[in-house]
Amino acid sequence: MATAATMRRCEITGLSVDRSAERLIMLNAVTAVVYLTIGGVLALLIALTRWQAVHLLAPQRFYEFVSTHGMVMLIFWILFFEVAGLIFASTVLLSTRMIIPWLSWVAYVMMLGGSVIATVLMLSGQATVMFTSYPPLRAETPWYYAAVLVFAVGAILAIVHFFVNIVAARLRGDVGSLPLFTFALMGAAIIALWSLLSGALALFPVFLWTLGVIPEVDPGIYRLLYWGLGHGAQQVNLAAMVGVWYGLASLTTGARPVNEGLSRIAIVLYVLFINMGAMHHLLVDPGLGTWVKNVNASYFMYAAVMGSLIHAFSIPASMELALRERGYRRGLFEWLRRAPWGEPGFAALVVSMILFGLFGGISGVIIGGPQVNMIS
């Protein structure tokens, strides 16, 4: 049983907070932001090198930084932050305790250790293989691949722990139907699990090849498996972000989904179809047929886009309805003018929906389509 020593009540939301979960949430979130900062600094240095008037970095250092930037921004920071979200969604949001907390600590240590070692090896020039590390290009040391695999196993443990916590809460009767936020994070967890397993299947043979255990690695199979990780890890961010939007809309305006069932269907569309869009990274790959590329990078990908369109209308509509119910009904936009702009959570929600959802979503769909992708 949870005790006062292990649980506290949030004064703002009234939710019961497991102290072990709280520490792990903060630790994973802070680690994610640290990696985001590192990636941002590297991006600035890379841009200053691409700017010919400055040309800051020497060629070798430039590619070391590009390799590190790719892994830090597209894998490490995203997954650390998602783990923070998974812990929050499976404990705090359900007002339930975390079971087997040591499992999340093991996961965090593995993720941190693997990511730090991989980052150091890339920055030191021992793994200048870019983000994709396509064979026959390989790192000078097998420990780079081992470090990334350790990180992946740690992330998988964190995802498994998320599901364990939810099942335990259901068995205890702490929760019935999952809140939409938790449901969305579950979708992100499924996408992450698929992505990490795909990446592990790609990188483990390369690890053995670097050790000399096997004579070669099939580059075509590697590319196909690797983009299950490279593409999927970014879509983890998308699915988790949508869940955060629903959560922030509820916490800051009291919004309820206009049609929660439809919003859940949209999340299921992500789970079923979004990883198939990975094929847009392989449109010029000679080992894959045109039919496979076009079906996956258009029809199946657009099924996931349909999910995004549902969220794009559902979330603003739910906020408008909630604010109109408060009495802000004059004209078309009084509800928007009187929205809680002084609340950082609401302002962040709106800004992120405009930047990430509107501009990022529209441009991503356009560039991800077969025709534009081939020339971009």
CATH numeric code, 15-375: 1.20.210.10
pLDDT given at position 7: 79
pLDDT given at position 183: 95
Mean of all residue pLDDT scores within the chain: 91
- Chain mean position to CA 6: 29
Residue 376 has pLDDT above 70, yes or no: no
Global pTM reads 0.92
Distance CA(57)–CA(62), nearest Å, equals: 6
Q: Per the omega criterion (within 30 degrees of 0), is the bond before 136 cis?
A: yes
User: For residues 267 and 235, is the Cβ–Cβ distance under 8 A?
Assistant: no
* C-beta contacts of 169-177 below 8 A and 24+ residues apart: 169/90, 169/94, 169/96, 172/96, 174/94, 174/95, 174/96, 175/94, 175/96
Asked which of 11-15, 185-189, 220-224 is least confident by mean pLDDT, the reply is 11-15
Question: In the structure, what pLDDT confidence band is assigned to residue 319 with cuts at 50, 70 and 90?
Answer: very high
Residue 240 has pLDDT above 80, yes or no: yes
